[in-house]
Chains A and B, each alone.
Chain A
Amino acid sequence: MESPARDRAWFIDRVRECQARLRASIRALGVRAEAVDDIAQDVFVLAWQKLVEFDHSGEFGAWVVQIARRLVANERRKEARRNRILAGEVTDLMLRLAPEAEGPLTRLERDEALTALRTCLGELPTHGREMIQWRYFDHLSPGAIAGHLGRPSNYVRQSLLRLRRLLLECVEHRLLSDGR
């Protein structure tokens, strides 16, 4: 890395590659969905400031995940007015577990991970795809979806849980058969 400009371009390339993994890893620590991107931005800014400390023989993605874990631990300790952690007990436990356990999906580069997920989304039954669309694209709460379907909220939450499990199974199965 000869110059700061070049340095910056290299850094942004790494951000593009590993942002999906970082953001998913932050969420996997029990951070509220709406706070994930804020924390991810903080992580990358911190990583940029501390770039001299990065061992270039190591993996950038794993390094920023470590920074994220420290930031989330800090978040957990402080009494923030806007609490970005869903449940302290869960996040404490997550922080004690090894960072590698989010599954093979988060080890991919962003494009690969999202492509794999899109493929599996395409295999869901229509009603399942619609529900995912409402939840993630239309940002409807389970309560709003339930109101629309005339079903209880718990039905929607359970359906979404089943759909995520199906997607996980599908993606991980694909990655295993691809030898990843």
Chain B
Amino acid sequence: MTPETGTPDDRPPIEDVLSRFLEGEPEPGDGEALAAAMERNEQLAAEVRRLLAVDDLLRQTHELDPSAFTEALKTRLAAEDDCDDFTRAILDQIPEAGEPPPAAPASTQPSVNPLATPRSAWRFGARLWAFAAAAVLLAVGALWWLAPASTDRGVASQVAWLNNAQNCQWAEGGTPAGGIIPGKVLQLEQGLAELLFHSGVSIVLQGPATLELRSESSVRLLHGRLSARVPEAARGFEVLSPEGKVVDLGTEFGVSVADDGSARVYVFRGEVIAQPAGKSPAGPVSVREQQSAQIGAAGVSLETRGVGAENFVRAIVPPPSIVPRSLTLDFRHAKGGTLQDRAGLGTGLTHRLPGTGQALPLRDTNLRLDTQLGRLELTTTENDLNRQCKVDQGEYVGVLLSDLGFTGTEDFEVTAVFPNTPALGEVDQLGLYAGTRGDKNIRGGLLRPGGKQGIGPSTQFFVRNNGGDDSNLYMVGMVSTGADLVLTLKRVGGKYSLMVENQTTGESTSLSIRHPEFLDGEKGIHVGLFGATPWRNVPRTISVKEFKTTVWTRRYPGS
């Protein structure tokens, strides 16, 4: 199946009306317009009904607990069995959560059977339990209230459930485990938690925060931050705070409570009433779309130019998936369009570290691809990145990370296998690099320390170069000539390290240096391998068996 194509221009306006209606967001006049169109067009009327039906079936398809509806009904029917007419009469006198006081009844519609008047099935159970509590109270006195809340009240007594969570850490005793029943206090130490109420209200709680669930239509934010989406059907939903409360009028808003108990509300859509606590002489204030208000000891102060919207998380967006993108070279095939060896064979490596190798010929006489053995041989030249000595003839060959989707922030890794490492002379070096230029990079691998005359064992090293001179040189251990080495230079969580795995001795060493902040956020990072014999023209040949670069790209849902 492929989606139909269509442009906004050829779409009749009724499509806009219908799409708003289906999403539960009709604008004034939409109902009339849709009804009139359906009256005229029987086919449209039938389609609207089928679309609404499929909408609900989609909702059912995505239910977390497919048996929840039936189980709730069973609980309710069981309650019916226990309730005689007297009980029901009492139940009808207990107001539903969020209902106005008895002076303003929700409905004056006469009804022979109280159940013939639609009301919340889910709330019904709560009312039944309230009645049961009252009955037991009469029988055994107030001691009943001291008993801990029963946990077997069933589905109907839950006011909300945890619908989504991201990186959540809950305080002990403040987790949603055991059900979110009235009186439950959630203590979110970090992360985001989305609570969904039966009434359709959705709250995103941002840790650290403490929230008391009072009823289906009332919560108390003790500290921290939340955003709430309240459908029209749940108007009147309230968020209490130490200095006052916010009462919704069908909208989306955010509330934060500071350590001193003062609260700030920001309205994304619609309107809320911000009401100071009883002790304040000030009255309620209406806060409208894109306005914010402070609720403190002195009352409510409206900020006409809303501030703080950016502090609220309005929805939990799935984190990006991490997708590795790699380039692997085994040097068994020549690759056209890449850096050429002395015979004109493409090595597979695509870029030189900028600022290096400009003096080298197109067919690089220092490179030899041996496709039979699967090796790339690199013959060193006299140069050194330290003090930028003859770098125009330096061999620093590799790849540009952006070719693998790197945008400056991703983690990455480059690995190369160096079999049978050669004997090195004083300050000779080989290894891997990462950087944007010959004078802005980090590099590491093997180095024959200065001051050691002649050829001999090498040391593992890792060094920064920012501006042309090496700094923060780190050296450790000793590596004998002829060892097979696997070098891995990587950035994980933004931090760099170099791993040297000696396959001959079975030892491995991890090296780190002061963080090269000059590479942070750089988009044009190159990685690759190098070999150099500074201060003297004594070429040495380095063999490379495998080369692999990986960038851990992020893929956002929908992108």
Contact = CB atoms under 8 A, between A and B. Distances in A.
A complexed with B: yes
B52 interface: yes
15 contacts: A12-B70, A15-B70, A26-B56, A33-B55, A33-B56, A41-B76, A45-B73, A71-B118, A74-B109, A89-B34, A125-B2, A144-B314, A148-B317, A149-B558, A168-B51
A90 B73 contact: no
Interface string B52-76: 1111111111100000011011101
B3 A15 contact: no
B76 A45 contact: yes
Interface in A71-120: 71, 74-75, 77-84, 86-90, 92-94, 97, 101-103, 105-106, 110, 113-114, 117-118, 120
A87 B164 CA distance: 31
Given A102-B53, A158-B19, A45 B80 contact: yes
* Chain B CB within 10 Å, residue with most, of A93, A97, A128: A93
A8 B78 CA distance: 10
Interface of A: 8, 12, 15-16, 19-20, 23-30, 32-42, 44-46, 48-49, 71, 74-75, 77-84, 86-90, 92-94, 97, 101-103, 105-106, 110, 113-114, 117-118, 120-121, 123-125, 127-128, 130-144, 147-149, 154, 157-168, 170-171
A48 B80 contact: yes
A94 B26 contact: no
Contacts of A28: 49-50, 52-53, 56
B38 A136 contact: no
A50 B532 CA distance: 93
Given A30-B52, A161-B22, 5 more contacts: A33-B24, A71-B118, A106-B57, A120-B1, A164-B55
Contacts of A143: 269
Nearest to B318: A138
A170 B57 CA distance: 14
Nearest to B109: A78
Contacts of B32: 87, 89
A104 to B, nearest CB: 9
B280 interface: no
B31 A87 contact: yes
B365 interface: no
A140 to B, nearest CB: 5
Most chain B C-beta atoms within 10 Å of own C-beta, residue among A29, A36, A161:
A161
Given A45-B80, A86-B21, A23 B56 contact: yes
- Going nearest first, the 4 A-B pairs with the smallest beta carbon separation are A87-B31, A41-B121, A34-B200, A89-B35
Contact of A38 (B15, B120, B316): B120
A49 B113 contact: yes
A125 B70 contact: no
B106 A80 contact: yes
B82 interface: no
Contacts of A38: 118-122, 198
A124 B31 CA distance: 30
Contacts of A80: 106-107
A137 B64 CA distance: 8
A32 B24 contact: yes
Contacts of B53: 24-25, 27-28, 102-103, 105-106
B316 A138 contact: yes
Contacts of A118: 61
Nearest to A48: B77
